[in-house]
């Protein structure tokens, strides 16, 4: 291995180390309470070293956002082995909900926190690649459902957005602790129970 290759590998290893430390701190302390100094201290490097690899906290958040989204999109893509598009659509919603409820900090970073989107603005990037790729998976499945005779009289993109919005809304309410103390009898099951009700509606379209 040449010295250039070794330096490139070491650079990637340190970048990965920073991201792993940031992820750990975000889970333990919360995103808002984690600073660049916290991250540097946790890996025994100077703040300056972290800034060599990331211009600010938003860039770290965007890098983690990309990792998390890649993971979620990978789980959704596996479902394309399911030939029946309606069954795949139902399964995609369950995977999405499970990911959100099992990984609330990651979900918050992917879909709620503004920082990753603000980073895109700072680098003057118009498209949200991760979101576009994932939404395309949903639209492809909804289109195949339409081709199979479902959702007659509906329009592809607004319907796809509506489905995403409904499932996202349920996850967000749960992750934001909005399902507690609102006179829901079984708040611990309400998201999955509500999704079953949502599927009952979908089945009739």
In tens, the pLDDT along 74-100 reads: 999 999 999 999 999 999 999 999 999
CATH number at residue 80: 1.10.357.10
Tell me what pLDDT residue 201 has.
Answer: 93
Q: Which of 13-17, 23-27, 122-126, 177-181 has the lowest mean pLDDT?
A: 122-126
Instruction: Please determine, for residue 67, whether its predicted confidence score (pLDDT) is greater than 70.
Output: yes
Q: Please count the other Cβ atoms lying within 10 Å of the Cβ belonging to residue 3.
A: 7
Tell me what pLDDT residue 9 has.
Answer: 87
Number of folded domains in the chain? 2
Q: Are residues 15 and 88 in the same domain?
A: no
Tell me what pLDDT residue 58 has.
Answer: 87
Tell me what pLDDT residue 2 has.
Answer: 74
Q: Which two tokens stand for residue 59?
A: 């860039």
Tell me what pLDDT residue 84 has.
Answer: 97
Q: Are residues 48 and 63 in the same domain?
A: no
Give the span between the Cα atoms of 166 and 175, in whole angstroms: 14
Q: Are residues 73 and 35 in the same domain?
A: no
Q: Are residues 1 and 76 in the same domain?
A: no
Tell me what pLDDT residue 62 has.
Answer: 87
DSSP letters along 33-67, please? T--HHHHHHHTT--HHHHHHH-SSHHHHHHHHHHH
When computed from its CA atoms, the radius of gyration of the chain, rounded to whole angstroms, is 20
Q: Are residues 69 and 161 in the same domain?
A: yes
């Amino acid at each position: 291995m040449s010295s250039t290759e070794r330096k490139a590998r070491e650079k990637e290893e340190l970048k990965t180390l920073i991201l792993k430390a940031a992820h750990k701190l975000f889970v333990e302390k919360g995103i808002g309470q984690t600073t660049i100094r916290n991250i540097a201290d946790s890996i025994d490097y100077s703040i300056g070293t972290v800034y060599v690899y990331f211009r600010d906290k938003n860039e770290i958040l965007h890098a983690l956002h990309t990792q998390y989204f890649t993971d979620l999109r990978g789980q959704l893509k596996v479902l394309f082995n399911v030939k029946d598009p309606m069954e795949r659509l139902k399964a995609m919603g369950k995977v999405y909900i499970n990911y959100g409820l099992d990984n609330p900090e990651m979900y918050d970073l992917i879909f709620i926190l503004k920082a990753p989107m603000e980073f895109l603005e700072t680098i003057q990037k118009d498209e949200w690649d991760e979101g576009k790729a994932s939404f395309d998976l949903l639209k492809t499945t909804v289109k195949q459902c339409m081709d199979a005779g479902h959702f007659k009289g509906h329009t592809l993109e607004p319907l796809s957005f509506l489905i995403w919005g409904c499932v996202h809304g349920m996850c967000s309410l749960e992750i934001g602790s909005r399902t507690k103390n609102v006179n829901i009898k079984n708040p611990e099951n309400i998201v999955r129970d509500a999704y079953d009700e949502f599927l009952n509606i979908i089945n009739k379209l």
